[in-house]
Every structure is written in C-alpha cells, then in structure tokens.
Chains A and B, each alone.
Chain A
Amino acid sequence: MKNAISPDEAAALIPDGSVCLIGGFMGVGSPHRLIDALVRRGAKNLTVVANDTAMPGKGIGKLISAGAVTRLIASHIGLNPETQKKMISGEIEVELVPQGTLVERIRAGGVGLGGVLTATGIGTLVEKGKQIVEVDGKPYLLEKPIKGDFALIGCKQSDYYGNLEYSLTAHNFNPIMALAGAVVIAEPQHIVPVGVISPDDVKTPGVLVTHILERAI
C-alpha cells in the first residue's frame, strides 16, 4: 500500500538539477498537477525528457515558460515557439531525437539494455557522433539508453498499490517512462481500491511506482 502525497510534497522531493522523464503528448496524458506544483516551487535547472513541450500555458510548456528547464531531450518542439526561442538564445540546450528512437532509448534505460540499434536516422543529421554497427550487412545507429532521476507519470487511475491504468491516447510515453525513473511519481485522475483495476488492465505494475499523487480536490 502506498501513501498519497500532495502535489507540493511531490514537487519538494524533486531537487533542482534533476533529470525528469515526463509523460504526455502535446499535453495529453501529462501529469498536470505535478507540473503546476513544480512551477509553484520555482524548480530550476531541470533536464526534461519528453516527447514534446506542448504549447505555452499547457503541460510541459508551463515548465518551459517558467524557466525551470535548462536541458531538453524531445522529438518535437514545433508547436511551442517559446521552446524554440529559448533554444536559439541558448537558454535551453535541446537534443532532438526521432520519436521512435526516443521511446526505445527510454525503454532501454528502463529494462537494462545497453542501447538500441536502429535504422532510423542513418544518413541524416541524427547520425552525427554516433557509432554505426553493422548487423547481417545492414547498418544501424547505436542509440544509448536514457534514465531519469524521476519519472512523472499521468494516468487514468491507480489503485492503493500503485497499479496504473491508462486511457486511449493518454498512454503515449507514460508506461515506458514508468520503467526508467529511479523515483516514479504517478498522478492518477482517480484512485480506486485494490481489485477495481483488473490485472489484465494494469499496464504499469504498482511495484514500479514510488508515490501516488493524492486525489484532486
């Protein structure tokens, strides 16, 4: 059984300078109350690993606007002009990673793989500085694993053990990131008694989850 903690308690656990894997795709499935609490706390110098930075005023976009992020690993920042501006001014160091490579790097970090070999990015700017490994005559890029100090997860519901269920396109990076954070904080929309979520519907076993965010008031 886990204890439910408040968003502010959760934000206080995340020191400045942490590497945070944050779920969500254009804000869909992001842990919104946790993000708000990090902004409230005035978090600084975070490395954020996420698919995208949503848009100003939404999801991870709020952390960008608040100046909480100095390093970003993402696949797409095109819908957030602030991220692009801060990248150009040098305020945020941005590493752009193909989306499929990004999720596999996080998965590799979470499941104990030394990296992944992928054809994506071969012959493009993504190849720069990376080792090329030939397997059965085909070239692949060696992409290294990504791990986080924290994984901040948005989900549909959690039971008291932290078993998580997700909804529709709000899955996205969340179930994968839940494997790759040293500390995993889940923000469920609903908390339900053990047994409500069928074992078949649990996508993240509670053993992976460190903290559950208390119910929204």
Chain B
Amino acid sequence: MEDKDIIALRVAQEIKPEMLVNLGIGLPSLVANHLPKDVHVFFQAENGVVGLGPRPPEGMEDEDLTDAGGGFVTAMPGAASIDSAMSFGLIRGGHLDMTVLGGLQVDERGYLANWMVPGKMVPGMGGAMDLVAGAKHVIVAMVHTARGAHKIVERCTLPLTAVRRVSLIVTEMAVIEPTEQGLVLKERGPGVSIEDIVKATGAKLIIEGDVPEMQLN
C-alpha cells in the first residue's frame, strides 16, 4: 500500500456517522475514498457546500459547483449551498466536527504549521487558520518526514497556523496523540518498529507499553 493510502485509510476510521467533516486539499481529500459505504457523513467544502459529492461524469460538470481547490464536484442528496459567511460560521462557530489537514510541521505542544515557508512559499492561509482554530477535532494527515527532514519537531520553526493543540497526527509510520504531557505514540504503521518511528521523529514521544500496529482492513 502506498503511504498516502495508509494515511487516508487510517484517518477514515476516525470519522463517525453524521459528522460534518472538512477535508483539506491534496492528501486529506483522499480520505473520502476510504470511508465505509454505510457511514453517512456530510463533507463541507468551505467555498460553499455542505454535502459535497464525488467528481461528476466527464462532460457533466457544472461550472458553479466546485470544491475549495477549484475542482468539479457534485452535491449529494440533502446538500446545502451556502455563502462564505455561513460556511465560516459553521467552521468558526464550533459546528464543524472534524477537519483533516496537511502539515508542514507539528510540534510537541501539538501546534501545527501548514500555511507558509517564509521566502519560499507564501500562498496565503486561505481557510486553514479558521479551520484549526474552530473545528471540534483537528486531524493532521501527512507523511512522517519530508525527504528525511523531520516534520514532527520539538518546536515549529515555520509560522504557526494556530495556537491550538491538534487532536491527532496520522502518518504512514504512526498515529500520535498530542496531549498536555506531550506527544503520545498510539499506533505503529504497517511493519514499522518503535525504533523506526523514534528515528524519524524530531520530538520526544511518550511511549507506554505495547504500541499496537494500525488495523487497516
């Protein structure tokens, strides 16, 4: 299994029926493909739809119906189209159950940096700061290291997205829960040892007892 599929599959297990969920662009958007068929949730696209559906058939796209990345989507039965004030009211008002976002760095405090690399990449924060500040659960879905460089670090060196402890970090190597005491290693990736994880992590991990392997079936 590819790294990104391991991550998406494991994140999908966190989603419970009837949740309102916002998936970020890129890797997080893959989570929708791994949701069990019998689990009904509402996906929000912050550009203005609750009840986002999959890509329409070729040639059947509606130019007024896209996701936050600008890609064509559909709306599921029961969907609602909303303006940006309502959309961010849902996010900032604590009505969004879960957001899944990519990450550049997460640190021992559970703080996320994912919107800017000074001097290199300044795309703007879009909705990321609102999502991290406002969602009930924030899940960071990212590969464990960036070509060998640590992404889970003692203190973020990149500009923070919010000073809020994220709920869970899911990588292809590990599931990590940021707590008041620090980063708790909850699960190992398929075939990954604790030593592998410690080596690939630039922050102190709290390891208690046997750390089970992710159950991905």
Q: A residues engaging B (CB < 8 A)?
A: 25-29, 51-52, 74-79, 84, 87, 96, 98-101, 103-104, 107, 118-126, 156, 166-176, 203
Contact = CB atoms under 8 A, between A and B. Distances in A.
Contacts of B62: 168
The binding surface of chain A is classed by DSSP as: mixed
A28 B84 contact: no
Given A122-B133, A122-B162, A75 B88 contact: no
B127 interface: yes
Interface string B109-150: 000000010000111111111100110000000000000000
B105 interface: no
A154 B124 CA distance: 24
B162 A101 contact: no
Interface string B144-181: 00000000000000011111000000000000000000
Given A169-B48, A170-B48, 15 more contacts: A28-B66, A29-B64, A52-B126, A77-B123, A99-B88, A99-B127, A101-B129, A107-B85, A120-B92, A124-B129, A125-B116, A125-B159, A166-B81, A168-B64, A175-B85
Contacts of B57: none
- How big is chain B's contact interface, by range? 35 or more
Contacts of A98: 125-130
Contacts of A173: 83-84
Nearest to B49: A169
A25 B66 CA distance: 9
Interface centre among A100, A125, A170 (most CB of B within 10 A): A100
Given A124-B159, A124-B160, A176-B83, A100 B123 contact: no
Interface of B: 45-49, 62-70, 75, 81-85, 88, 91-92, 116, 121-130, 133-134, 159-163
Interface centre among B63, B69, B88 (most CB of A within 10 A): B88
Please give me the 6 A-B residue pairs with the lowest Cβ-Cβ distance, nearest first. A78-B123, A100-B88, A123-B163, A100-B130, A26-B70, A76-B126
Contacts of A124: 129, 159-163
A74 B130 CA distance: 14
Contact of B125 (A96, A166, A168, A170): A96
Contact of B122 (A84, A104, A168, A203): A84
B9 to A, nearest CB: 27
A75 B81 contact: no
13 contacts: A75-B124, A78-B121, A84-B123, A99-B130, A100-B91, A119-B92, A121-B133, A124-B160, A167-B81, A168-B81, A169-B47, A176-B84, A176-B85
Interface centre among A52, A74, A168 (most CB of B within 10 A): A168
B47 A123 contact: no
Nearest to A99: B127
Contacts of A168: 48-49, 62, 64-65, 75, 81
A96 B161 CA distance: 13
A99 B75 contact: no
Contacts of A119: 92, 133-134
B47 A28 contact: yes
Contacts of A125: 116, 159
B81 A51 contact: no
A172 to B, nearest CB: 5
B123 A76 contact: yes
B125 A123 contact: no
A166 B86 CA distance: 14
Contacts of B46: 99
Contacts of B88: 99-100, 103-104
Contacts of A52: 124, 126
A96 B122 CA distance: 9
A78 B122 CA distance: 7
A170 B130 contact: no
